[in-house]
Amino acid sequence: TYRDVDTFLRAMSMIPHIRGTWLRPSDHVLATHGTDGPTVTVPSNVRVVTSDGTRAGFLAALRACSVLVLPIPTGTLTAAGVSTLLDAMWLGKPVVISHCPAVDGMVPEAATVRFPPGNAKALADVLTTVERDAGLRMQLVAAGKAYVMKVGGEARLASDVLGIAHDLVSGK
């Protein structure tokens, strides 16, 4: 949800030597989850794959990618992209993401490469750098894995939610 598809497609058109895939949500998801369909032409170096909507299909697509790009729209105030970011880090994928509430002040700088939201040129530059720099990719993977291990999984989330609920009920 909340993806800036146009910025991704414009960036990819600037770097025709890099191949990418847009995992396109179904029309229903596009219409209801804050992602606008593209208003620009899909460049020839971008393959469009329509998601089957399943978790297994999503994880298969994520496993097949070499770098995850999360272009979050300008002005998004939610933690858009955070679960996808964590999945990618767990699977050992470098993550490129717009500056947004999901990462700024939350995810260590070393665990992602960030770019200004809506800035296709900056995204193209970042993707070129990530593609050319194997050391950077290795650093992103290592920092991402370390971050995922630190934040824990579902059990940790459930424990945190119960703790907050307990504090609210008991007036703490």
- What is the rounded CA–CA span in Å between residue 19 and residue 32? 28
Task: List phi, psi (to 5°) of 68.
Answer: -95, 130
pTM assigned to the model: 0.85
Amino acid letter at 128? T
Q: What is the mean pLDDT of the chain?
A: 89
Model confidence over 80-126: pLDDT tens digits? Answer: 888 899 999 999 999 999 999 889 989 999 999 999 999 999 999 99
Model confidence over 35-75: pLDDT tens digits? Answer: 666 788 999 999 999 888 888 988 999 999 999 999 998 88
Task: List phi, psi (to 5°) of 65.
Answer: -85, 155
pLDDT recorded at residue 151: 85
pLDDT recorded at residue 36: 66
pLDDT recorded at residue 162: 80
DSSP code per residue over 30-91 = HHHTT-PPPSSPPPTTEEEEE--S-HHHHHHHHHH-SSEEE-PPTT--S-TTHHHHHHHHHT
Strand pairing of 113-115 and 95-98?
parallel
